[in-house]
Each structure stands twice: as structure tokens, then as C-alpha cells.
Amino acid sequence: MQNVGDWFDQRLQLGTPIRATMAHPVPRQTASWFYVFGSAALTVFTLQLVTGILLAIVYVPSAGEAWSSLQILNHAISLGWFIRALHGWGSNFMIAIVLIHMVQVFLFGAHKFPRELTWVIGVLLLLMTLGMAFTGQVLRFDQDAYWGLGIGVSISSRIPVLGPWLVSLLLGGPIIAGATLSRFFALHVFVIPGLLIAFVVVHLLLVLKLGINEWPMPGRVVRRATYLQEYQQLTHGAQGVPFVPVAVWKDIFFSGFILLSIAACAAILGPFGPGGAPDPTIIQTAPRPDFFFLWLYAVLSLLPPSLETPALLIGPAVVLLVLLGLPFVSGEGEKSWQRRPIAVLTILLLAVALGTFTHLSGYAPWSPAMDAWSSDPIPPQYLKGRTALQRQGALVFQVKQCHNCHALDGHGGQRGPALDAVAVRLTQDQLIRQVIQGGGNMPAYGKNLSPAETTALVAFLETLHPAGQASARDASRAVALSTSGDGSFSPRP
Amino acid sequence: MTVTDGLSRRTLLVRLGIGFNVLVAALLGVPIVRYILSPVTRERRPGYESWLSLGSVDQFPAGQTRFATYRNPVVSPWDGETATIGCWVRHVDGEKFQVFAINCAHLGCPVRWFPQSSLFMCPCHGGAYYADGSRASGPPERGLFEYSHKIVAGKLLIKAGEIPTPGDVAGIAAEKPSCA
């Protein structure tokens, strides 16, 4: 056995450099559970490569057949569903781990001198990972993928001058069809993975050449003039330990744990979709992006229309510029997060913002509840003891689909305000005006309601106030009525 | 040959060799770029749009808005269902029609017509439009995209063939929001 090994090493001459790399000294404190995310990302990337190739054996990148081939994978091929699930869950884990890795290196000041380029390549790797997530969602060619592409090209089309060209280039033709899927297949399977592999190699080489970021100590300040020497002391002095085996065992265990978690999610929760067939004539659909793009879905819904195009076009450029420029702006100074309150606050703010948007997208309050008018009845307490006209108004409320946007007693759409106490806020005249003219993001119903329907509807809305609170009244009308009588000022109670 | 100005014969040959390869690469680059840009350049020559029939006008009763589909004029054999596109036909009265693209003017999701409230609503980000396609509420900056149409021999024809986007790729006339 030894002889065979020697025979190969004599020719390959890889043994010595590999042993040297494995045993390269790292600062003792970096043998930490905080330093395992980079290697875990590499492990999951490898899993994605393997499962991706396995899926490519069966998947057909044709708009007419992709969806059926996914059904075959799910149902007709032994454990095809499991490989799909591994790839899908691997993708989610990949993004999560990459983000955690990024937050960790940022909070530990790893982007500072001399590791600026490592950070910049890391940012590019994040972009490619997100690119893989988006193109991967397209390859799961279902309704969400189809309309998701529509959203992608609608955003691209807003780029000045180049927009329309870019749309044709992305789609490979005039519409979302066969050419589009082929393009995204090439991107997802050849172009982006190729770039990813190349950049991962450079990223790893830089980590090896420059050394792993030392554990940041409050007060140990990075200076370009002295840093390299200080780092040398950390690795080659008494604090230096060989990467293998002192640090690596934690990486190995964490990677194994992550792989097991992905396998468990895949086995228990199964593969993602595919959802409905990608038939654009089936419009009874509510397209949603995958988990890691849900925040964007919420942002696109909540931005004011006038801000949207600038935000869409300038926002990503600004974010990218900030990320890429970060190590050059703050290349020196404190590394420890304990001395970098703004860094910590930025991360917290981003986490809260992204978390909030993701949570909001779970129930999409900005979208009308399309079936509320036929599935959520008027609460009985709003009908008891009402006049015929008011009940007729309740009927108008349902039939004209007011319920799709306005909740009553917690049921119905959340696009507009809940109307349980609308009579307290708006007088009769204001209600009529609001219904007929709309405004404040409400459509005008003047053309769609007969005067009788409007009268009935407003009569019903006027009953919507809490038991102890009176309806809103027009004070000026009261004054006008009373002044027309005796000329004295006596507002009604 | 002696080295006089730091440029030996060998170095010159290497540089010439590199220059030669750059030239060949540029020559190869032209067809590659043209191949990649084919969907863009093709669009500019004959155009993707043509007149398509949505069927007899009798299918669209006056005063109603109905769903219609057409087969995209530019198709590949492997397009499958994706080449069949939907649209909304509003028959105002007589010869007056409006044909709206299915795609929301915000980000392209499929809008649905609700005759009860006379609104088009989008399931994605909450856009809503009036019966005439003008913007009612939500994130869209404009009304629904509208196809040019004409009636020939009792058939309703529309000019279509390209996905409408807010960047106005197809040059589909922008529907000015009318005062409601």
C-alpha cells in the first residue's frame, strides 16, 4: 500500500504541498465554532453539484416538457423526489449558511486589511449564489417560475435605454417560452457554476495565502504598517496551532451536521413543487417567489409607485457598491464587534427589516383577498336589528367585493382599512364621497354603483361603529342648521 | 542578434504571437456576440408582432369583458403551453372593443377580471384597474397594456406577439389613466 502511494506521489508530487497546507499554522482561538460556516458552505456547494448532476440525468430543459419531467422525477423514478428535495433544501441551506458566514466575517472584522479581496470575492460569490437560487427556481418550471420570469423581465425592462434589449436577451425571444428556459438552464448548469467554482478556488487560495482571520480582541487595532508582523506572531508563536487536526475537526463535524439536517429536511418535508403547470392561460394563480426572495416581493408591493423604478434600479447598485467598497473604506481599525456599534446595529437593522418583510409576505396584506366576497360572510352581529335598507347595503358590500379589501370582524382582505368602526371616522357625506370617488388607494365605484346601491351601502356602513361610540357627524352642518334657526351658535352635543 | 533596446527577437515573436491570437479571438468574437444577441437583432428586423385572430366577434357580448387566448405568432416546437397567451377582451358596444394584455403593468403578473366590482385585480402586489383598463389603485404606475385591434370579416384581430413590460418593449400604446 505504501509502495503504491509512493509510486503516485513520485509522479504527482502533491503529497508535500498537501501536507504543508493541512498543517499550516492558524491562531489557536480560530479553532472555534464561529469559524465553521465557510467550510460548511463549501460542503453544501459540493452537495449541490452532485445532486444537480443527478437531476440533470432526468430533467428535460424544454418549456413543453420540463414540468412533466419534474413529475416523473417526483413520482416515477426511485427516490427521484429525494434527490430533488436534497437539491431544493440544499439551496435554502446554502443561502442561509452563506449569509451567516458573511455576517460572521463582517462582525469579526475579517474584511479589513489585508483580506479586502477575499471579501470582494465573497460578495461576488453571494451574488452568484442568489443567481443560482433565482435560475434554479426558473428551472422548476411551474406557474411561480413562469410569472417569476415575468416579474424579472418587467424589472429589467425599466432600465433606461437598454431595458427592452435586455428583456429580449433574457427571454431569448418575444415571450417567456422554450428559448427562455434553455437560457436559464445554461446559466444555472454551466455559466454560474463555472464562475462559482473559479471564484471559490480564488477565495480559498486567498484564505490560505493570507491566513484565517484571527480572533478579534477589543483594542487590537489593524494598521497596514504592522498587521502582517502581528499576524505572523499569532500563527508562528506559542499561539499558533496546525489547522489539521486542531481546528479542522469542528469544520468536519459541523459540515456533517449540516448535511444530515439537509437530508432530514428533504426526507421529512420533501421536494419543493413543482406547483401548477406553466400554462399562461391558467390565471387563477397567485405567484410567490421562493423563501429568500420573499422580502423583495414585500418591498415591491409596499414601495410607492413613484419611488419604485428609481429604487429598483438604483437600490441594488447602491447595495453592491456599499458591499464592495466596505473593505476599502474601513480597511483598518478595530476588528472586534464589541467596539463597532454601528456594524452591529447595521446587521440588526437589516435582520429586522428582512425578517419583517418576509413575515409580511406570508399573509400579503397589500393584495386583495380574491375570494373574501364569496367565502367570508358578513358577521351576524352586523346584521341583527338592522333595517331592510342597511341589510341591502350589506348585500352590496358582498356583491361588489368590498370585502376583498376591507375586513369585518377580522375576516376579509387587508388591502384597505378594516371597516368595523368606519362610521366613527367618516361622516355620511365622506362615506358617499369615498365610495363614489375612491382615493387614498381605493378605486372609485361611482361608475359601478347605482344611486340606490350607494345609498344602501352607505346606510350599512353608517351602522359600523362600536356600541358605546356615536357615528361621526358633520359639525358644520349642525352649525348651519342651528344658525339658520335663531342666529346663535349652539353646537349639538 | 544582440539585445540592444531590451527587445530580443524571441520577445518580439511572443508579442506578435499574442497579438495574432488577440486578432483571431476578435474575429471569433463577432459571430459569438451576434449569436448571443440574436433575439435582440432579430426583433429589430421584421419585428415579432403580427395580426392575430381572437375568433368571431360574436363570442364577445356587448358590455362584457371576456377572457380570450391566442397562439403566439413566433413559436418553437418545444414551447408547449407557454406559447398560448391569454388576454382580456372588453366589448364596449357596436364596433368598440378594448383588448388588454393579461400582464399587470406593475410587474407582469396575470390580472383577473371581476365583473361584480368591475375591476381587474392583480394577485401579486395588489394592483387594481377599472373596466377601461385605467389604473385604479396599487403599485402600477399606469393602466393595463392594450393591444391594437381591428375587425375583419367578423373576426376580432389584435396586433400581438411580444410580452408587454413597463419598459414598453412592444410599443403597445400606453393607456393614460382616465379620470374616474
Q: Please list, in sequence order, all residues whose beta carbon lies within 8 angstroms of the beta carbon of residue A449, skipping any fewer than 6 positions away.
A: A396, A400, A435, A436, A457
Residues of chain B in contact with residue A178, where contact means CB-CB under 8 angstroms, are: 76, 78-80, 82
- List the helix and strand counts (H, then E) for chain A: 21, 4
Residues of chain A in contact with residue B86, where contact means CB-CB under 8 angstroms, are: 280-281, 283
Boundary-marking domain end, from A336, A363, A390: A363
CA distance B13 to chain A (A): 31
pLDDT tens digits, one per residue of B52-87 = 999 999 999 999 999 999 999 888 899 999 999 999
Nearest chain B residue to A414, by CA: B126
Structural domains of chain A, count: 2
CA distance A271 to chain B (A): 24
Vertex A278, ends B132 and B136: CA angle to 5°?
Answer: 20
Does A205 lie in the same domain as A91? yes
The answer to whether the beta carbons of residues A293 and A133 sit under 8 Å apart is yes
Residues of chain B in contact with residue A173, where contact means CB-CB under 8 angstroms, are: 39, 48, 74, 76
Boundary-marking domain end, from A337, A363, A389: A363
| Nearest by CB: B139 against A153, A305, A443 | A305
The burial of A308, by beta-carbon neighbours within 10 Å (0-12 exposed, 13-18 middle, 19 or more buried), is given as: buried
Among B51, B135, B52, B112, smallest CA distance to A370 is for: B112
Residue A493 CA from chain centroid, whole number:
53
- Residue B66 gets which letter from DSSP? E
Q: Please list, in sequence order, all residues whose beta carbon lies within 8 angstroms of the beta carbon of residue A129, skipping any fewer than 6 positions away.
A: A94, A95, A98, A196
Q: Residue A364: left if φ>0, alpha if ψ -120 to 50, beta else—which one?
A: left
Does A383 lie in the same domain as A352? no
Nearest chain A residue to B76, by CA: A178
Residues of chain B in contact with residue A172, where contact means CB-CB under 8 angstroms, are: 39
| Nearest by CB: A171 against B39, B109, B114 | B39
Say whether A280 and B86 touch across the interface (CB within 8 A). yes
Residues of chain A in contact with residue B80, where contact means CB-CB under 8 angstroms, are: 62-65, 178, 278
Residues of chain B in contact with residue A306, where contact means CB-CB under 8 angstroms, are: 141
Q: Phi, psi (5° rounding) for residue B69?
A: -130, 155
% of chain A at pLDDT higher than 70: 98
| Nearest by CB: B139 against A303, A399, A404 | A303
| Nearest by CB: B163 against A175, A279, A399 | A175
Q: Give the per-residue pLDDT at B4.
A: 57
Say whether A367 and B125 touch across the interface (CB within 8 A). yes
Is CATH 3.60.21.10 the classification given to domain B50-160?
Answer: no
Q: Give the per-residue pLDDT at B43.
A: 57
Nearest chain B residue to A289, by CA: B124
Q: Please list, in sequence order, all residues whose beta carbon lies within 8 angstroms of the beta carbon of residue A325, skipping any fewer than 6 positions away.
A: none
Residues of chain A in contact with residue B177, where contact means CB-CB under 8 angstroms, are: none
Say whether A442 and B137 touch across the interface (CB within 8 A). yes
CA distance A434 to chain B (A): 13
Nearest chain B residue to A370, by CA: B123
Say whether A157 and B118 touch across the interface (CB within 8 A). no
Q: Residue A98's domain is classified under what CATH number? A: 1.20.810.10
Q: Residue A396's domain is classified under what CATH number? A: 1.10.760.10
C-alpha cell of residue B97:
372593443
Given a cut of 50, the residues of chain B with pLDDT beneath it are 1, 169-180
Boundary-marking domain end, from A363, A394, A410: A363
Domain contains A67: yes
Say whether A287 and B137 touch across the interface (CB within 8 A). no
Does A440 lie in the same domain as A305? no
CA distance B4 to chain A (A): 40
Alpha helix ranges (H) inside A339-387: 341-363, 372-375
Measured between alpha carbons, how far is residue B102 from residues B62, B70, B110, B123 in Å? 20, 12, 5, 12
Nearest chain A residue to B128, by CA: A443
Domain contains A491: no
pLDDT tens digits, one per residue of A142-187 = 999 999 999 999 989 988 888 888 998 999 988 999 999 999 999 9
Residues of chain B in contact with residue A367, where contact means CB-CB under 8 angstroms, are: 122-126
Beta carbons within 10 angstroms of residue B101's beta carbon: 26
Does A265 lie in the same domain as A198? yes
Domain contains A492: no
Domain contains A345: yes
In a mutagenesis test of the B interface, which of A67, A184, A296, A367 is the best target, namely the one with the most B β-carbons within 10 Å? A367
In a mutagenesis test of the B interface, which of A60, A71, A154 is the best target, namely the one with the most B β-carbons within 10 Å? A154
Domain contains A409: yes
Q: Give the per-residue pLDDT at B44.
A: 58
Residues of chain B in contact with residue A275, where contact means CB-CB under 8 angstroms, are: none
Q: Domain of A446? A: 372-486
Does A272 lie in the same domain as A135? yes
Say whether B118 and A308 touch across the interface (CB within 8 A). no
Count of alpha carbons within 13 angstroms of residue A98, beta-carbon side: 25
CA distance A1 to chain B (A): 46
Q: Phi, psi (5° rounding) for residue A215?
A: -65, 125
Does A293 lie in the same domain as A148? yes
In a mutagenesis test of the B interface, which of A65, A157, A415 is the best target, namely the one with the most B β-carbons within 10 Å? A157
Does A403 lie in the same domain as A330? no
Given a cut of 50, the residues of chain A with pLDDT beneath it are 487-488, 490-493
Does A153 lie in the same domain as A108? yes
Does A230 lie in the same domain as A162? yes
| Nearest by CB: B116 against A366, A400, A443 | A400
Does A405 lie in the same domain as A342? no
- Residue ranges of the domains in chain B? 9-36, 50-160
Q: pTM to 2 decimals?
A: 0.88
Say whether B141 and A306 touch across the interface (CB within 8 A). yes
In a mutagenesis test of the A interface, which of B82, B87, B102 is the best target, namely the one with the most A β-carbons within 10 Å? B82
Does A174 lie in the same domain as A68? yes
CA-CA distance, B88 to B105, in Å (whole number)? 14
pLDDT tens digits, one per residue of A62-112 = 999 999 999 999 999 999 999 999 999 999 999 999 999 999 999 999 999
Say whether B79 and A287 touch across the interface (CB within 8 A). no
Residues of chain B in contact with residue A153, where contact means CB-CB under 8 angstroms, are: 108, 163, 165
Does A390 lie in the same domain as A314? no
CA-CA distance, A187 to A180, in Å (whole number)? 11
Chains A, B: CB pairs < 8 Å: 214
Q: Give the per-residue pLDDT at A238.
A: 85
CA distance B2 to chain A (A): 39
CA distance A283 to chain B (A): 6
Which value, in Å, is the radius of gyration of the alpha carbons in chain A?
A: 31
